[in-house]
């Protein structure tokens, strides 16, 4: 027996009267085979999809547990180093003080790294929460400058400001915007020579505010200006890692800005300096707090994180599908 498709077409004369029937029996063995194979492939894809969903949930649990379990002991260690530094637990020799300050610097470094890794994972999994309120940008800038002035002074760098007098309020997550400015100023300081200058400006541009962080440091080659926003990318990975940081700051910064419906761009010339522009709408049409969006834009820049089906798994699936189709 051969599966058939029976098609009957009426045959009409010039007047349109039916004078006969053309009958056509088509062998649909091939078609049926393709259909079965499609159903099989569909089933496999659904299974893969379920697996990915489970991995995604696992990632969320992992994030919650890690953020708690890594950061709580860190807070305790920090607290005790503070008590030791303040002399609350007794007098310390100069050598002990020096040792504690080295400990503290390294704890801060580790803490920042954990925070960055958690942020990038949250951005990637769509769980970075953005809590927007009406905020005064001048106030945010003043607080950020108070935090960053000390770091700038250690390199004898002056931060000049050029802020519009009547900046309108913005609708944004205060702490996250502070984080954006701290990242940009931190980079500007890090990649400038001692005694250099940084200009932080903010102005209204139609329905947006534009914040610019300008430095006169080493600059970024043209062909790297897009890549620096990818996670873990550093222009000179050997050198730049020594400065502290693993290349997550700008990816997080871009993620936060885009979650505010904003845009971040850079203009730079090697040896002359760089300016990073952050454009934030006064009234964002959306705040991507819960929406999942990929922080990795350049697939080639993807590090080997295996929350995605492995290459060999995919290859096996494709082989099976191809094999089924050939059977």
Ligand X SMILES: Nc1ncnc2c1ncn2[C@@H]1O[C@H](COP(=O)(O)OP(=O)(O)O)[C@@H](O)[C@H]1O
Residue with tokens 């379920």: 50
Which of 240, 258, 267, 320 is the binder for ligand X (CB under 6 A)? 240
Q: Tell me: does residue 284 bind Mg ion (CB under 5 A).
A: no
Q: How far is the CB of 253 from Mg ion (least distance, A)?
A: 8
Q: How far is the CB of 38 from ligand X (least distance, A)?
A: 44
Asked whether the beta carbons of 208 and 260 are under 8 A apart, the reply is: no
Helix (DSSP H) and strand (DSSP E) numbers for the chain: 7, 9
CA distance 201 to 163: 5
Q: Tell me: does residue 245 bind Mg ion (CB under 5 A).
A: yes
Which of 118, 137, 250, 295 is the binder for ligand X (CB under 6 A)? 250
Collapsing DSSP to helix, strand or coil, 18 comes out as strand
Which of 187, 196, 253, 274 is the binder for Mg ion (CB under 5 A)? 187
Q: Tell me: does residue 113 bind ligand X (CB under 6 A).
A: no
CA distance 44 to 53: 14
Residues sharing a CB contact under 8 Å with residue 177, sequence separation 6 or more, in sequence order: 135, 137, 140, 170, 256, 260, 280
φ and ψ at 280, to 5 degrees? -120, 130
Q: How far is the CB of 185 from ligand X (least distance, A)?
A: 9
Span from 37-45, 81-89, 197-205, 226-234 in contact with ligand X (CB under 6 A): 226-234
Asked whether the beta carbons of 142 and 183 are under 8 A apart, the reply is: no
Say which entry of Mg ion, ligand X, none residue 198 contacts (CB below 5 to 8 A, set by partner kind): none
Q: Tell me: does residue 234 bind ligand X (CB under 6 A).
A: yes
Q: Tell me: does residue 249 bind Mg ion (CB under 5 A).
A: yes
Q: Tell me: does residue 92 bind ligand X (CB under 6 A).
A: no
CA distance 65 to 71: 10
Q: How far is the CB of 192 from ligand X (least distance, A)?
A: 7
Q: Tell me: does residue 212 bind ligand X (CB under 6 A).
A: no
Q: Tell me: does residue 255 bind ligand X (CB under 6 A).
A: no
Q: Tell me: does residue 217 bind ligand X (CB under 6 A).
A: yes
Q: Tell me: does residue 117 bind ligand X (CB under 6 A).
A: no
Which of 28, 182, 246, 301 is the binder for ligand X (CB under 6 A)? 246
Say which entry of Mg ion, ligand X, none residue 218 contacts (CB below 5 to 8 A, set by partner kind): ligand X
CA distance 233 to 228: 6
Residue 19 is inside which H or E element, if any? strand 18-27
Angle between helices 249-259 and 174-190 (to 10 degrees): 150
Q: How far is the CB of 183 from Mg ion (least distance, A)?
A: 6
Residue with tokens 């940081």: 245
CA distance 225 to 50: 38
Residues that bind ligand X (CB under 6 A): 183, 187-188, 191, 215, 217-218, 220, 228, 233-235, 240, 245-251, 274
Residues that bind Mg ion (CB under 5 A): 187, 245, 249
């Amino acid at each position: 027996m051969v599966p058939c498709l029976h098609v009957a077409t009426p045959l009409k004369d010039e007047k349109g009267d039916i004078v006969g029937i053309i009958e056509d029996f088509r062998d649909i063995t091939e078609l049926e085979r393709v259909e079965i194979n499609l159903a099989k492939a569909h089933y496999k894809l659904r299974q893969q999809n379920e697996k990915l969903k489970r991995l995604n949930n696992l990632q969320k649990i992992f994030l919650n547990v890690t953020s708690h379990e890594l950061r709580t002991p860190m807070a305790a260690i920090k607290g005790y180093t503070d008590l030791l530094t303040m002399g609350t637990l007794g007098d310390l020799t100069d050598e002990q003080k020096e040792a504690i300050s080295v400990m503290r610097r390294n704890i801060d470094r580790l803490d920042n790294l954990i925070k960055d890794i958690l942020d990038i994972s949250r951005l990637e999994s769509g769980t970075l929460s953005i809590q927007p309120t009406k905020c005064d940008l001048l106030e945010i800038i003043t607080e950020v400058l108070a935090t960053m002035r000390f770091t700038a002074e250690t390199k004898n760098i002056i931060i000049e400001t050029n802020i519009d007098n009547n900046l309108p309020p913005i609708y944004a997550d205060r702490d996250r915007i502070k984080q954006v400015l701290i990242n940009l100023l931190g980079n500007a300081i890090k990649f400038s020579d001692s005694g250099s200058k940084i200009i932080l400006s903010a102005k209204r541009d139609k329905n947006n505010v534009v914040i610019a962080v300008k430095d006169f440091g080493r600059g970024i080659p043209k062909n790297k200006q897009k890549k620096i926003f990818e996670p873990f990318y550093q222009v000179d990975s050997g050198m730049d890692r020594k400065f502290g940081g693993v290349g997550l700051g700008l990816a997080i910064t871009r993620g936060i800005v885009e979650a505010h419906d904003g845009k971040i761009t850079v203009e730079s010339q090697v040896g002359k300096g760089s300016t990073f522009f952050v454009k934030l709408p006064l009234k964002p049409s959306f705040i991507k707090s819960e929406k999942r969006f990929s922080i990795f834009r350049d697939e080639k820049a993807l590090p080997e994180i295996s929350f995605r089906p492995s290459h060999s798994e995919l290859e096996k699936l494709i082989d099976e599908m191809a094999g089924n189709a050939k059977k």
